[in-house]
Amino acid sequence: MRALSYRDKDTVIHALSPLAKLAWGGGLLVLSLIFNHPVYILILFLSIILMVKLAGVGREWASTLKFALWLGLSIIVINALFSYHGDHVLLTAPFRLPVVGQPVITLEAIAFGAVMALKLAVIISVFTLINLTIHPDDIMAVLLKMRLPYKSVLVTSLSTRFVPCLVEDMGRISDGYRTRGVQLDAGGWFRKLRNRAKITLALLSNSLDRAVQVAEAMEARAFGNGKKRVFYKDINISKMDAVTLGVGLLPLAAGIIVRVLGYGDYQYYPNLTAIQFGGWEWVMPAVMLLLLAAIVPLAFLKRRVDLD
Amino acid sequence: MIKIRELKFTYNGAEKPALHKINLTIEDGQFVLITGASGGGKSTLCRCFNGLVPHFYGGRISGKAEVQGLDILEHPPRELATKVGMVFQDPENQLVTTDVEREIAFGLENLGYPKNLIARRIEEALDTVGIARLRFARNNELSGGEMQKVAIASVLALHPEVLVLDEPTSELDPQSAEEVLRLLERLNDELGLTVILIEQRLDRVVHLVDRMLVMGGGEIIADGSPGEVMNGDSEGLGIGLPPVIRLMRELKSHNAALNGLPLTVKDARLRLQKVLQSVKTADFADAGESLKPILNMDKVWFSYGERAVLRNINLDIERGGFIAVMGRNASGKTTLVKQLNGLLKPSKGRVRLDGVDTRKSTVAELSRQVGYVFQNPNDHLFADTVEDEIAFSLRNRGADESEITKAVEGMLNEFELTHYRHSYPRNLSGGEKQRVALASVLVGEPEVIVLDEPTRGMDYVLKKKLVSYLDDYRRRGNTVIMVSHDVETIAECAERVVLLSEGRVVVEGSKREVLSKALLFSPQINRLAQALSGYGVADTTLTVDEMIEQIG
């Protein structure tokens, strides 16, 4: 779990302003939702690979991608099994189900599932990249800069900080249970559920104890004493940061225009539309790719300015 | 100055007051130790100093308490933060941010100080505590000792006049504990900071403090210099005296030339050298012939990912033995004992219980033969009542109800839990929870019992009972394996000691071979014996009784 948390690294991506990274990542999330076209989704995914590579977090990203892969596979399988739209039937079940009729597996349902899985991989990768390359306190500072209330931001930050502790607690409590003679995965589903419920209750109780201790420690250090809070490590936005922020937002702005112009959509049912590569059909994805990658030369430039 | 008059405090929902008729004055610049049995009111009293009691906890309070001229009833903790800094027991749960610099800034930011002042205070705090190298380190990558130092730095940055610490070393290994205590000594000596420290291990601190308070039943039952307090009825106070002090008290009763109490080994040595005349020669033999091993580790390796934590461990654990496993933090102690009940299975090599490879059984199956008591009692507690908690393992293995009732009654009596039989285990105090956890494992009468740091943070009375119970348990033919840093307890009760370093067994032998003449792992009495060996005292002496046998 701790392997997936932020670590300081000397890379151009780590040195980028957190605001720019959040804008870029947030833009990517929105784009992955508004585009349906496989080529556009693939471009989003490629741009993530580029950033991951430059940030030197390939190994950590790969481990979350493994999780995304399993989730993606299940999306493909479920969609193929339960979505009977599409004209190209690959397999027909030899039985009928009530209400839905005779199950069929179509090429279109598989293709749709595959693109949804790729979208999911993009979304998970964005969160992983943000998590691995932005200091959690910087995320907090950015949220505060956006004038979100301090107490809410602090609570969110504290909850994420204690996730690794929760995972460790869970391991220890399960071990405690096993050493008392309980086989956690034995027996019927009711017994398993009961065992898990006991562990969850113990976990909850530990977390409440921890919450009281943290609150006590905060109170003892003048938390909430009514004075206007100062932020020692406030995020200062230099001109360079403002430019990278602007460039970070470009893909989102361009993507919205592209969608409004009618590009980036794709029909999966009843037949897969042929992918066109003529005229603007070709230019638009290329522009998107360029805009998504535009943050990279700026990141190198920023580092040079920082070093100077 | 802290002035408390007739203070009485009762937590909401509690029948008895946690503090009763407290009258106390602490002058500026004093180093005060507060000790006593668990549940005696130490933590509650300390939480009064910065207003956490009553403002944070709520409850009924009467009397008067003033800290540096401010009435705690009128000033909540956030207002007292610049007067009283508080450091808590758990190193991890008192850190709020993610890195050291931000952690130190946290309190200053809350107070709205200007950024340049915050920067200056951070520098000061880092240097005062000696952790400048950790400035940009992430909190979750620090060791327990480093976390406690960061916690101290983060309160020092607020420039408090009083520093209150609630058992800050109870979760640390001896070296880290020593470092934290030396830091407190320096803060008191050089900066004149008033330090109020709760601590159970008196041998670590009595020589550092000016004044010692003992609490029991919500009252201050002894107050004076360490020498004065420890000269009195320590058993009645429920405190465990350091071995050199126990020795000198015993010797003083026969030798009029000895007066006063030594607070350190050096002090004891100097006093004894003056009066030592005759020494009876003693040869302390180790336990008899080796018995058949019940557990055997054969070329055991264990890795977490690519990191090898155990490296080629070969170990035989004899039936009926009492083995202590020692070593620095992260030397592989817990990983080693987790192999014994199958919680972890070796990456390479074999662990055999009664000749059978542990890989062939589940943890649940092995639990009938090997009981395991975790460091934190909370990891054991699942049931709704103490009674059910103790009955759990037996019920789980389908024992007869009459047999369960008999065994549970036995455990309730043995661990003095009868009064709490219907209580929710997690609502009990730390010491009580520890007793429930022990009872819940021991009720199954496993042939082997593994205890991971059972005496950490335990008060004297409970520790004494545990040691006596384990000794009795072993005498009934069972095997006890204890991971511990507590050299004094090991010197009293263990037979063999295994010393680990970097995942390897560095030394393994009788406790006398391992603990005597060692630099770091020698008990106080052995350090004294080594210094007095020129007078004929055996340099393998480990306990007070053995010393008295020779010079008493």
Beta-carbon neighbour count of residue B236 at 10 Å?
11
Beta-carbon neighbour count of residue B186 at 10 Å?
14
Tens-digit pLDDT profile for residues B155-167: 999 999 999 999 9
Say what the pLDDT of residue B288 is: 59
Kindly list the residues from chain A whose CB atom is less than 8 angstroms away from the CB atom of residue B140.
2, 5, 161, 164
Instruction: Specify whether the CB–CB gap between B35 and B42 falls below 8 A.
Output: yes
Q: Are residues A161 and A191 in the same domain?
A: yes
Instruction: Specify whether the CB–CB gap between A114 and A68 falls below 8 A.
Output: no
A217:B393 CB<8 A = no
Number of domains into which chain A is organized: 2
Say what the pLDDT of residue A238 is: 85
> Average pLDDT of A210-228?
91
Q: Where are the beta strands (DSSP E) in B279-431?
A: 293-304, 307-318, 322-327, 348-353, 356-357, 370-373
A219:B379 CB<8 A = no
A205:B426 CB<8 A = yes
> Average pLDDT of A124-131?
93
Helix orientation angle between B243-252 and B265-275, rounded to the nearest 10 degrees = 30
Q: Note whether A161 contacts B: Cβ–Cβ < 8 A.
A: yes
Least confident of A232-236, B3-7, B40-44, B297-301: A232-236
Kindly list the residues from chain B whose CB atom is less than 8 angstroms away from the CB atom of residue A221.
81, 96, 106-107, 110, 154-155, 158
User: Which one-letter DSSP state was computed for residue B421?
Assistant: T
Q: Are residues A23 and A107 in the same domain?
A: yes
Kindly list the residues from chain A whose CB atom is less than 8 angstroms away from the CB atom of residue B444.
181
- Tell me which of B363, B376, B448 to substitute to probe the interface with A (most A C-beta atoms closer than 10 Å): B363
* The amino acid at A227: K
CA distance B228 to chain A (A): 33
For every residue of B104-128, DSSP letters joined together read HHHHHHHTT--HHHHHHHHHHHHHH
Q: Note whether A230 contacts B: Cβ–Cβ < 8 A.
A: yes
> Average pLDDT of B8-19?
93
Look at A163 and B313; give whichever has higher pLDDT: B313
Q: Are residues A41 and A168 in the same domain?
A: no
* List of residues 6+ apart from B167 with CB closer than 8 A: B89, B198, B199, B200, B457
CA distance B388 to chain A (A): 13
For every residue of B28-88, DSSP letters joined together read TT-EEEEE-STTSSHHHHHHHHTTHHHHTT--EEEEEEEETTEETTTS-HHHHTTTEEEE-
Residue B290 has pLDDT above 70, yes or no: no
Count the helices and strands in chain B (H runs, E runs): 22, 20
Q: Are residues A163 and A48 in the same domain?
A: no
> Average pLDDT of B525-535?
91
> Average pLDDT of B197-220?
94
Q: Are residues A242 and A124 in the same domain?
A: yes
SS3 (DSSP) at B295? strand
- Determine, yes or no, domain membership for A158: yes
Say what the pLDDT of residue B287 is: 60
Q: Are residues A92 and A194 in the same domain?
A: no
> Average pLDDT of B401-430?
92
> Average pLDDT of A257-266?
91
Residue % of chain A over a pLDDT of 70: 99
Start-end of H helices in B157-278:
174-191, 202-205, 226-231, 234-237, 243-252, 265-275
Q: Note whether A236 contacts B: Cβ–Cβ < 8 A.
A: no
Least confident of A6-20, A149-163, B83-97: A149-163
Q: A residues 192-211 near B, CB within 8 Å?
A: 198-199, 201-202, 205-206, 209-210
Q: Are residues A204 and A248 in the same domain?
A: no
Residue A214 has pLDDT above 80, yes or no: yes
Q: Are residues A34 and A84 in the same domain?
A: yes
* Range list for CATH 3.40.50.300 in chain B: 2-237, 293-524
A179:B372 CB<8 A = yes
Q: Note whether A173 contacts B: Cβ–Cβ < 8 A.
A: yes
Kindly list the residues from chain A whose CB atom is less than 8 angstroms away from the CB atom of residue B372.
179
User: Which one-letter DSSP state was computed for residue B93?
Assistant: G
Q: Are residues A25 and A130 in the same domain?
A: yes
Backbone phi, psi, residue B59, to 5°:
135, -175
> Average pLDDT of B267-275?
88
CA distance B2 to chain A (A): 17
Mean pLDDT (chain B) is: 91
Helix or strand (DSSP H, E) at B448: strand B448-452
Cα–Cα dist B520/B530, whole Å? 13
Of B90, B99, B374, the CB nearest to A176: B374
For every residue of A218-242, DSSP letters joined together read HHTTTTT-SSPPP-TTPPP--HHHH
- Tell me which of B87, B90, B102 to substitute to probe the interface with A (most A C-beta atoms closer than 10 Å): B102
Instruction: Specify whether the CB–CB gap between B34 and B166 falls below 8 A.
Output: no
Beta-carbon neighbour count of residue B122 at 10 Å?
23
Give the A:B interface size as CB pairs under 8 Å: 166
Tens-digit pLDDT profile for residues B29-39: 999 999 998 88
Look at A276 and B383; give whichever has higher pLDDT: B383
Kindly list the residues from chain A whose CB atom is less than 8 angstroms away from the CB atom of residue B110.
221-225, 227, 229
The CATH classification number of B293-524 equals 3.40.50.300
Instruction: Specify whether the CB–CB gap between A264 and A255 falls below 8 A.
Output: yes
Say what the pLDDT of residue B286 is: 65
Say what the pLDDT of residue B42 is: 94
CA distance B98 to chain A (A): 7
- Tell me which of A179, A209, A213, A216 to substitute to probe the interface with B (most B C-beta atoms closer than 10 Å): A179
- Tell me which of B94, B367, B382 to substitute to probe the interface with A (most A C-beta atoms closer than 10 Å): B382
Residue A2 has pLDDT above 60, yes or no: no
Q: Note whether A63 contacts B: Cβ–Cβ < 8 A.
A: no
Residue % of chain A over a pLDDT of 90: 46
A214:B444 CB<8 A = no
Q: Are residues A106 and A161 in the same domain?
A: no
B426:A8 CB<8 A = no
Helix or strand (DSSP H, E) at A123: helix A107-133
User: Which one-letter DSSP state was computed for residue B8?
Assistant: E
Indicate the pLDDT class of residue B252, thresholds 50, 70 and 90.
confident
Tokens encoding A246: 């602007």
CA distance B292 to chain A (A): 25
Indicate the pLDDT class of residue B479, thresholds 50, 70 and 90.
very high
Query: Which candidate, A179, A152, A131, places its Cα nearest to that of A13?
Result: A131
Query: Which candidate, B336, B342, B209, places its Cα nearest to that of B263?
Result: B209
Give the architecture-level CATH label for domain B2-237: 3-Layer(aba) Sandwich (3.40)
Q: Note whether A269 contacts B: Cβ–Cβ < 8 A.
A: no
Q: Are residues A116 and A162 in the same domain?
A: no
- Determine, yes or no, domain membership for A228: no
| Range(s) of the domain holding residue A162 | 150-219
- Tell me which of A232, A235, A236 to substitute to probe the interface with B (most B C-beta atoms closer than 10 Å): A232
Kindly list the residues from chain A whose CB atom is less than 8 angstroms away from the CB atom of residue B382.
176-177, 180, 198-199, 201-202
Q: Are residues A6 and A74 in the same domain?
A: yes
Kindly list the residues from chain B whose CB atom is less than 8 angstroms away from the CB atom of residue A135.
98-99
Residue A27 has pLDDT above 80, yes or no: yes
Indicate the pLDDT class of residue B279, thresholds 50, 70 and 90.
confident
Of A135, A183, A213, the CB nearest to B364: A183
Tens-digit pLDDT profile for residues A70-114: 999 999 999 988 888 888 899 888 888 887 778 889 999 999 999
Indicate the pLDDT class of residue B289, thresholds 50, 70 and 90.
low
* List of residues 6+ apart from B150 with CB closer than 8 A: B95, B100, B103, B104, B129, B131, B134, B139, B142
Of A182, A205, A214, the CB nearest to B96: A214
Of A157, A198, A230, the CB nearest to B109: A230
Give the sheet arrangement for strand B60-67, strand by strand. Answer: B19-26, B2-10, B60-67, B70-71
B105:A232 CB<8 A = yes
- Determine, yes or no, domain membership for A230: no
B110:A206 CB<8 A = no
A228:B112 CB<8 A = yes
> Average pLDDT of B446-463?
88
A178:B113 CB<8 A = no
Say what the pLDDT of residue B222 is: 95
Look at A146 and B152; give whichever has higher pLDDT: B152
Kindly list the residues from chain B whose CB atom is less than 8 angstroms away from the CB atom of residue A2.
140
Query: Which candidate, B351, B347, B358, B348, places its Cα nearest to that of B305?
Result: B347
Say what the pLDDT of residue A142 is: 85
